[in-house]
């Protein structure tokens, strides 16, 4: 019988109250392999209620004890790393090496990072000459609503859960309905680790039926969301009149900028930035600006390297490119490649579904990594987020031109700059409208740094001290001393 995933409410694994399920598809085979509760506002209500009841106890639990439980959760995820990685790959189509070596270990780190951060946190005190002392209390906000996407399922869900519950909030999480499996495994781990019932609740289901009632719920004062900009806008519209605290991590259209003096390692890194996770990382560099002096040579090598990426069964450790997450995501990619052609672009490689795939993957949602030239920075393909394996290479002549091109989209999530000239690196980094600028690297993350986007890529920052601040409410106490 097909596996059925449950919600995690008040420490119990339960079905949706209406008894309905959604099919869960394996992207690599295109086959339904499990079912996920089609929860609605009734389930959200039940989960919020459990979280409210758990809040007084958990928020007053000493930091050391909260830390101990989070460390235990981290240990148990780590102990079961193979199971988590296998589940993530089946659920999302991503290569198993990526799940095993990067994403599940990062989920473990998220818990450890915030479990230890709360032991070293301090708050400010200001002496007003001799007249008064002002100190700041930082208290958890209450029930946090945590909504995450499908592209890095456990990695991004735990990036929210860990700081939310470490700081003493209780939480209702809504993972993507396309990739629910590792959240389901996490529920069992939380029980085993001794997390008190109701501290973390997980409600599965679609964005409209389960996510929207969570964002609108009067007893949920704080929402952390990662996903698309259109969804983020709708959440902003719901939450603004309710004056909720909101963090929105949204889409991107990130530039990679390669100057003529770049280290040769820029080539491999640029290919990785374009196509890792089949181009489905919000930080992927899909607009590649290359200084004209090296443009033709760089393009040739980029294409040659892209053609060598091994497509295959994501469960195979040799596979570098797995399947896209859904048929819809592949169709969107195909439409943008057609648009690229219509806008006058030349497709140098990819541009089609691959023909030779293992038997098991014949009906999977595959698309060959695609490189396009001949389009300027202002055409739609270079302005809109595709979120698939499509990269455009664009030549540039000087710094002003490339900065203007890089900043020309409504997004501002991240950028990657490749040069050996340190002055140029600083100056370009300073001028780019991006939440993160990597210089001579990509996706190198220190969990202490603020993370988020500018413009339509985000509102607010998470990570390190920013996350501890976001998930707590500051209160100033002023004591007259004279
Ligand atoms: P999405 O916006 O469709 O869905 C994200 C989550 O929101 C899902 O759990 C979904 O069910 C839920 N949701 C959908 N509609 C909702 C609503 N009206 N109210 C409440 N919840 C709702 O995004 P996706 O397709 O799952 O993910 C891809 C997008 O996420 C891309 O745009 C990508 O750039 C972005 N992303 C951003 C970051 C970042 O850190 N900035 C990281 C990863 C992905």
pLDDT digits (tens, 9 = 90+) for 207-224: 999 999 999 999 999 999
Report the relative pairing of strands 472-480 and 436-439 from DSSP bridges. unpaired
Q: How far is the CA of 249 from the centre of ligand 1 (A)?
A: 9
Cβ density class 128-137: b for 16+ within 10 Å, e for less: eeeeeeeeee
Helix axis angle, 81-92 to 104-117, nearest 10°? 120
Please say if the pLDDT value at position 1 is more than 80.
no
Domain 3-250+457-480 has CATH 3.40.605.10: yes
pLDDT-based confidence at residue 365 (cuts at 50, 70, 90): very high
Residue with tokens 């990679």: 256
Alpha helices per DSSP H over 209-286 = 212-216, 229-239, 265-275
Average pLDDT in the 25-39 region? 98
CB 152 within 8 A of CB 229: no
Task: Say how far apart CA 27 and CA 325 lie, in whole Å.
Answer: 5
Query: Environment class of residue 206 by beta-carbon count within 10 Å: exposed (0-12), middle (13-18) or buried (19+)?
Result: middle
- Condensed to tens digits (0 to 9), the pLDDT of residues 384-405 reads 999 999 999 999 999 999 999 9
Which residues does 231 contact at the CB level (< 8 Å), separation at least 6? 207, 211, 225, 250
Which residues does 30 contact at the CB level (< 8 Å), separation at least 6? 327, 363, 364, 365
- Condensed to tens digits (0 to 9), the pLDDT of residues 45-82 reads 999 999 999 999 999 999 999 999 999 999 999 999 99
pLDDT-based confidence at residue 313 (cuts at 50, 70, 90): very high
Name the average pLDDT for the chain: 98
Task: Say how far apart CA 403 and CA 291 lie, in whole Å.
Answer: 12
Torsion of CA 156, 245, 414, 465, to 10 degrees: -80
CB 88 within 8 A of CB 153: yes
Domains 3-250+457-480 and 255-446 share a fold: no
- Condensed to tens digits (0 to 9), the pLDDT of residues 147-182 reads 999 999 999 999 999 999 999 999 999 999 999 999
pLDDT value for 85: 98
Task: Say how far apart CA 67 and CA 163 lie, in whole Å.
Answer: 11
Average pLDDT in the 320-341 region? 98
Query: Which atom belonging to ligand 1 lies closest to the Cα atom of 175?
Result: 9
Residue 160, CA atoms < 13 Å, CB-side half-sphere? 33
Beta bridge partner(s), residue 22? 36
Q: What percent of the chain has pLDDT over 70?
A: 100
CB atoms near residue 345 (< 10 Å): 21
- Condensed to tens digits (0 to 9), the pLDDT of residues 236-295 reads 999 999 999 999 999 999 999 999 999 999 999 999 999 999 999 999 999 999 999 999
- Condensed to tens digits (0 to 9), the pLDDT of residues 108-141 reads 999 999 999 999 999 999 999 999 999 999 999 9
CATH of 255-446, one of 3.40.309.10, 3.40.1800.10, 3.40.50.10310, 3.40.366.30: 3.40.309.10
Q: How far is the CA of 147 from the centre of ligand 1 (A)?
A: 8
Which value, in Å, is the radius of gyration of the alpha carbons in the chain?
23
Report the relative pairing of strands 414-418 and 370-373 from DSSP bridges. unpaired
Torsion of CA 339, 342, 345, 347, to 10 degrees: 70
- Condensed to tens digits (0 to 9), the pLDDT of residues 415-454 reads 999 999 999 999 999 999 999 999 999 999 999 999 999 9
Task: Say how far apart CA 356 and CA 370 lie, in whole Å.
Answer: 16
Task: Say how far apart CA 302 and CA 110 lie, in whole Å.
Answer: 34
Query: Which atom belonging to ligand 1 lies closest to the Cα atom of 249?
Result: 41
| Among 442, 462, 439, residue whose Cα is nearest residue 450 | 462
Catalytic residue among 26, 88, 249, 462: 249
Residue 35, CA atoms < 13 Å, CB-side half-sphere? 13
Cβ density class 51-62: b for 16+ within 10 Å, e for less: bbebbeebbeee
Please say if the pLDDT value at position 2 is more than 90.
no
pLDDT value for 285: 98
Catalytic residue among 141, 282, 361, 379: 282
249 is known as an active-site residue: yes
**Test site for ligand 1: of 93, 149, 283, 328, most ligand atoms within 8 A of the Cβ:** 149
Average pLDDT in the 331-353 region? 98
Task: Say how far apart CA 201 and CA 191 lie, in whole Å.
Answer: 11
Task: Say how far apart CA 232 and CA 457 lie, in whole Å.
Answer: 9
Determine the 3-state secondary structure of 286 from DSSP: strand
Q: DSSP state, 321?
A: B
Q: How far is the CA of 177 from the centre of ligand 1 (A)?
A: 11
Q: DSSP state, 311?
A: B
Query: Which atom belonging to ligand 1 lies closest to the Cα atom of 231?
Result: 2
Q: Whose CA is nearest to atom 14 of ligand 1?
A: 207
| Among 445, 409, 104, 144, residue whose Cα is nearest residue 251 | 409
CB 110 within 8 A of CB 162: yes
Query: Which atom belonging to ligand 1 lies closest to the Cα atom of 177?
Result: 11
Q: Whose CA is nearest to atom 43 of ligand 1?
A: 282
CB 133 within 8 A of CB 479: yes
Residue with tokens 């859904």: 326
Determine the 3-state secondary structure of 288 from DSSP: strand
Q: How far is the CA of 299 from the centre of ligand 1 (A)?
A: 32
The CA distances from residue 53 to 7, 77, 161, 169, 219, in Å, are 18, 27, 18, 11, 11
Output the ligand 1 site: residues, CB below 6 A. 147-151, 156, 174, 176-177, 206-208, 211-212, 215, 226-228, 231, 234-235, 249-252, 282, 385, 387, 413, 453, 457-458
**Test site for ligand 1: of 161, 172, 204, 231, most ligand atoms within 8 A of the Cβ:** 231
Q: How far is the CA of 284 from the centre of ligand 1 (A)?
A: 16
pLDDT value for 125: 96
Q: How far is the CA of 99 from the centre of ligand 1 (A)?
A: 20
Beta bridge partner(s), residue 246? 223
Domain residue ranges of the chain, discontinuous segments joined by +: 3-250+457-480, 255-446
- Condensed to tens digits (0 to 9), the pLDDT of residues 82-106 reads 999 999 999 999 999 999 999 999 9
């Amino acid at each position: 019988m097909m596996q059925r995933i449950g919600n995690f409410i008040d420490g119990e694994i339960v079905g949706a109250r209406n008894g309905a399920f959604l099919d869960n598809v394996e992207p690599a085979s295109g086959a339904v392999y499990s079912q996920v509760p089609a929860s609605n506002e009734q389930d959200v209500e039940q989960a919020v209620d459990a979280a409210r009841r758990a809040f007084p106890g958990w928020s007053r639990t000493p930091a050391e004890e909260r830390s101990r439980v989070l460390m235990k959760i981290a240990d148990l995820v780590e102990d079961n790393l193979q199971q988590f990685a296998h589940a993530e790959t089946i659920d999302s189509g991503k290569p198993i090496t990526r799940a095993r070596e990067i994403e599940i270990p990062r989920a473990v780190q998220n818990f450890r990072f915030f479990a230890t951060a709360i032991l070293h946190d301090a708050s400010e005190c200001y002496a007003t000459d001799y007249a008064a002392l002002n100190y700041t209390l930082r208290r958890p906000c209450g029930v946090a609503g945590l909504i995450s996407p499908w592209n890095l399922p456990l990695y991004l869900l735990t990036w929210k859960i860990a700081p939310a519950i470490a700081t003493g909030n209780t939480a209702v999480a809504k993972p993507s309905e396309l990739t629910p499996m590792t959240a389901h495994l996490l529920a069992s781990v939380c029980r085993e680790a001794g997390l008190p019932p109701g501290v973390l609740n997980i409600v599965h289901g679609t964005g409209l039926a389960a996510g929207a009632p969570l964002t609108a719920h009067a007893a949920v004062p704080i929402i952390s969301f990662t996903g698309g900009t259109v969804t983020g806008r709708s959440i902003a519209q719901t939450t603004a009149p309710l004056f909720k605290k909101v963090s929105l991590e949204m889409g991107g259209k990130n530039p990679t900028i390669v100057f003529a003096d770049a280290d040769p390692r820029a080539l491999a890194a640029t290919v990785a930035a374009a196509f890792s996770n089949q181009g489905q990382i919000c930080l992927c560099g899909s607009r590649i600006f290359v200084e004209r002096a090296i443009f033709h040579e760089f393009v040739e090598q980029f294409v040659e390297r892209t053609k060598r990426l091994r497509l295959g069964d994501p469960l195979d450790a040799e596979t570098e490119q797995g399947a896209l997450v859904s048929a819809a995501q592949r169709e969107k990619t195909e439409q943008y490649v057609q648009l690229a052609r219509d806008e006058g672009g030349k497709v140098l490689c990819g541009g089609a579904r691959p023909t030779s795939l293992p038997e098991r993957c014949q009906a999977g949602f595959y698309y060959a990594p695609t490189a396009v030239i001949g389009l300027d920075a202002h055409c739609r393909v270079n302005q809109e987020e595709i979120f698939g394996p499509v990269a455009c290479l664009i030549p540039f002549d000087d710094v002003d031109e490339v900065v203007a091109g890089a900043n020309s989209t409504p997004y501002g999530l991240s950028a990657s700059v490749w040069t050996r000239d340190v002055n140029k690196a600083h100056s370009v980094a300073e001028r780019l409208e991006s939440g993160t600028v990597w210089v001579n690297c990509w996706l190198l993350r220190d969990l202490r740094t603020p993370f988020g986007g500018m413009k339509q890529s985000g509102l607010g920052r998470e990570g390190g001290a920013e996350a501890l601040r976001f998930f707590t409410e500051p209160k100033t106490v002023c004591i007259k001393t004279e």
